[in-house]
Amino acid sequence: MQIYLPIAEVSVNAFLLLGLGGIVGILSGMFGVGGGFLMTPLLFFIGIPPAVAVATEANQIVASSFSGVLAHFRRRTVDLKMGLVLLIGGLIGAAIGVQVFAMLREIGQVDLLVKLCYVVFLGIIGGLMFLESLRAIRRSKNPAARPERKKHGLVHALPFKMKFRTSGLYISVIPPIVVGLLVGILAAIMGVGGGFVMVPAMIYILGMPTKVVVGTSLFQIIFVTAFTTLLHATTNYTVDMALAVLLLIGGVVGAQIGTRIGVKLKAEQLRILLSLLVLAVCAKLALDLLIQPTELFSLGVGGH
């Protein structure tokens, strides 16, 4: 069944959109990532104009994250206090990111920079996570070598300490705010929720337990993407409601299924799967940059 999208001004298959929303929703619920880093390139691929894809994707992430976070709330795996601290940084970061994006657009080459951002960040994060979870799996198979207790590093030496009971942490608020800020900047530039950067940062930099990380990340993503959606709707008029509804019907259902799958998997398995996924997307984007495209020319409607 073909459907004409009023803002994107293209006609696409409705079931294709439902399916895409569903698959990305499952991943979103499983890993606590918004799924934007997968969905946005997929939307480009089926012919949605990039500006509409990025803006509408933000709206869809709100829905799937909200659906996912409710399931996590019931399981008490959301650290609200940590989420709010991260959010403060995230909103400031998103505002800065939008400015940076506008500056890059004036210089030109914003496309390339976004793609390079994707390749570099997905590559680093995916690689690190993959290696770390391999090591963790090897450790669990060999119970003789117990992991040593975490050392008190820089994160513990900073002032303004706060107790995060759900995460079982007593750390300074500065690292979470900085993490939120940096992720917020990246999210605005790359047009995603930022979960795929946020989740590993929470595990490896803040030392939060994996089970709490997913819910807290989703909680934070809702607000950052809602903010982005409003910005896009009021400045660029590029949020396509019809597209968003189709994607989010698939997305919210997928997120519920994904959350249940996520609970059944072990933390190490969850991490290794996410890292493989991140590396796959990274490889695809890197290949696009390295292999000669069949069509060297591209069109953009309107000035620039």
Binding site for another protein (CB under 8 A): 1-4, 6-7, 9-11, 47, 59-60, 62-68, 70-71, 74, 108-109, 111-112, 226, 229-230, 232-234, 237, 239, 241-242, 244-245, 248-249, 252-253, 255-256, 260, 288-293, 295-304
CA 282 to each of CA 119, 120, 122, 241: distance values in angstroms, whole numbers, following the listed order? 5, 8, 5, 29
DSSP designation for 240: -
Work out how close the CB of 56 gets to another protein at its nearest, in angstroms, rounded to a whole number. Answer: 9
Work out how close the CB of 160 gets to another protein at its nearest, in angstroms, rounded to a whole number. Answer: 32
When the beta carbons of 182 and 285 are compared against another protein, the nearer one is 285
When the beta carbons of 105 and 163 are compared against another protein, the nearer one is 105
**172-175 long-range CB contacts below 8 Å, 24 or more apart?**
173/85, 175/205, 175/206
Write the CB contacts of 83 (distance below 8 Å, at least 6 apart in sequence).
216, 219, 220
Work out how close the CB of 7 gets to another protein at its nearest, in angstroms, rounded to a whole number. Answer: 6
Work out how close the CB of 252 gets to another protein at its nearest, in angstroms, rounded to a whole number. Answer: 3
When the beta carbons of 62 and 198 are compared against another protein, the nearer one is 62
When the beta carbons of 102 and 289 are compared against another protein, the nearer one is 289
Burial per residue of 261-298, b for 16 or more beta-carbon CB atoms within 10 angstroms, e otherwise: ebbeeebbebbbbbbebbbebbeebbeeeeeeeeeeee
Work out how close the CB of 263 gets to another protein at its nearest, in angstroms, rounded to a whole number. Answer: 12
Work out how close the CB of 200 gets to another protein at its nearest, in angstroms, rounded to a whole number. Answer: 24
Structure tokens at 13: 């298959």
| Cα angle 290, 293, 296; round to 5 | 120
When the beta carbons of 146 and 304 are compared against another protein, the nearer one is 304
When the beta carbons of 248 and 272 are compared against another protein, the nearer one is 248
Q: Using CB atoms within 10 Å of the CB of residue 163, give its burial: 0 to 12 exposed, 13 to 18 middle, 19+ buried.
A: exposed
